[in-house]
Amino acid sequence: MLHASELKYWVGFSRIPGIGRVRFSQLKEHFGSLQDAWKASGGELKQAGLDSRSIETLLLLRPKTSLDAEIEKLEHYKVKALVCEDPGYPPRLAEIYDYPPVLYVRGNPLPSQDEPCLAVVGTRRPTIYGRQVTEDIVTDLARSNIIIVSGLARGIDSIAHRATLEAGGKTIAVFASGLDIVYPAENARLAQAIMEHGALVSEHPLGVRPRAENFPLRNRIMSGLSLGVLVIEAGQRSGALITAFQALEQSRDVFAVPGSILSPASKGTNRLIQEGAKLVCSYIDILQELNLTIVAQQPMIKQFLPDNEAESAVLKQLTSEPSHIDDICRRSNLTMPEVSSTLAILELKGVAKQVGNMNYVLAHEIKTE
């Protein structure tokens, strides 16, 4: 276990741009401790193998950095700094080449080697199909005790986190900023819920703003924490594809959900399948590929008796495939106000569910007799 007096020097070096895993190792090996490295002169740092630019940056920022204040700030936000030598550092993440020397964690302890994690990524603009597939597959995975890792972004990431929490599972959100800055800001409540039932993780110290170059770097941590990566919807230039390629470099499994060849949101996932990613139609495909125990899940069948003819007529039009409210009106021969009010009541009863843009599905398999 790292001594508390040494930890602040790890935190200090994590604030210096350009000091990553390789240079941390160089400094540790040359000086014996990061405390001595922090106090070293420019000449000594050059002897340790640091390049001129890193030395210049360190000498510029070092006098402006209060290490004790950094530790106080971490304690204020209840953030734990895990260094790669700490026994609590995630074992799977430590296996990758460019693991972060310092990992900041807010919430619960990170999973052990025996706790399976799966990264779930995809477009920030999911279709109705992508939204529903994410909810269905992630819910089943969470109920099978798979920890879901994602990036808290809009779209598939947020849907995956929420579906996990609603299923009573654990989820980890990896930030591209310091853990005191939630991005996007609209996900502040979601981040709080994740912290209570999982963890928030970042390689960046507190106060670091999200920058464009941080997001691809963040993705390697998501895949590094996980046994594999599931890509649900991704366009041809989606950032989710970067996570998939990093997973391959880390010898992780890559899974992809197929989509319509006409849908721009599925062009990336369909190409991944063409190139060898494992096609996923159900959570069972993932568990079998990872040799994980499949938890038998009985379909939730509800006994439901419609209260009136309108409920009965609307229910006949609902399946697991999305139906637009206009189509329900046409097929049921009911007026728009009748269908709208009936759907609202069925949603309150937990029988129907809106999946976006006035499209509805059955929330559960039901028996009407």
Nearest one of 205, 212, 217, 207 to 242, comparing CA atoms: 217
Nearest one of 184, 192, 246 to 210, comparing CA atoms: 184
The gap from C-alpha 274 to its chain's centroid, in whole angstroms, comes to 25
C-alpha dihedral (246, 249, 252, 255), degrees to nearest 10: 60
Domain ranges of the chain: 1-70, 117-289, 301-367
- pLDDT of amino acid 120: 97
DSSP state letter for 229: E
* End-to-end C-alpha distance for the chain, whole angstroms: 62
Q: Would you place residue 82 in the very low, low, confident or very high pLDDT band (cuts 50, 70, 90)?
A: very high
**Residues 132 and 355: beta-carbon distance below 8 Å:** yes
Query: Percentage of the chain with pLDDT > 70?
Result: 94
- pLDDT of amino acid 365: 60
**Residues 220 and 250: beta-carbon distance below 8 Å:** yes
Nearest one of 90, 214, 213, 85 to 149, comparing CA atoms: 90
User: Of how many residues is the chain composed?
Assistant: 369
Mean pLDDT over residues 17-22, rounded?
Answer: 87
Q: Would you place residue 106 in the very low, low, confident or very high pLDDT band (cuts 50, 70, 90)?
A: very high
Q: Does domain 117-289 have CATH number 3.40.630.30?
A: no
Whether the predicted pLDDT of 350 surpasses 90: no
Fold category of 1-70 in CATH: DNA polymerase; domain 1 (1.10.150)
Domain 301-367 CATH class label: mainly alpha
Q: Which residue has the higher pLDDT, 224 or 18?
A: 224
- List pLDDT tens digits, range 173-189: 999 999 999 999 999 99
Mean pLDDT of the chain: 89
Among 26-40, 77-91, 221-235, 300-314, the least confident range: 300-314
Whether the predicted pLDDT of 295 surpasses 60: no
Side-chain half-sphere exposure of 5, counting CA atoms within 13 A = 3
Residue 206: how many other CB atoms lie within 10 Å = 21
- List pLDDT tens digits, range 49-66: 888 998 999 999 999 999
Q: Which residue has the higher pLDDT, 281 or 296?
A: 281
Whether the predicted pLDDT of 366 surpasses 70: no
Nearest one of 124, 122, 191 to 162, comparing CA atoms: 191
CA distance 209 to 66: 19
Query: What are the DSSP calls for 15-79, one per residue?
Result: TSTT--HHHHHHHHHHHSSHHHHHT--HHHHHHTT--HHHHHHHHHHGGG--HHHHHHHHHHTTE
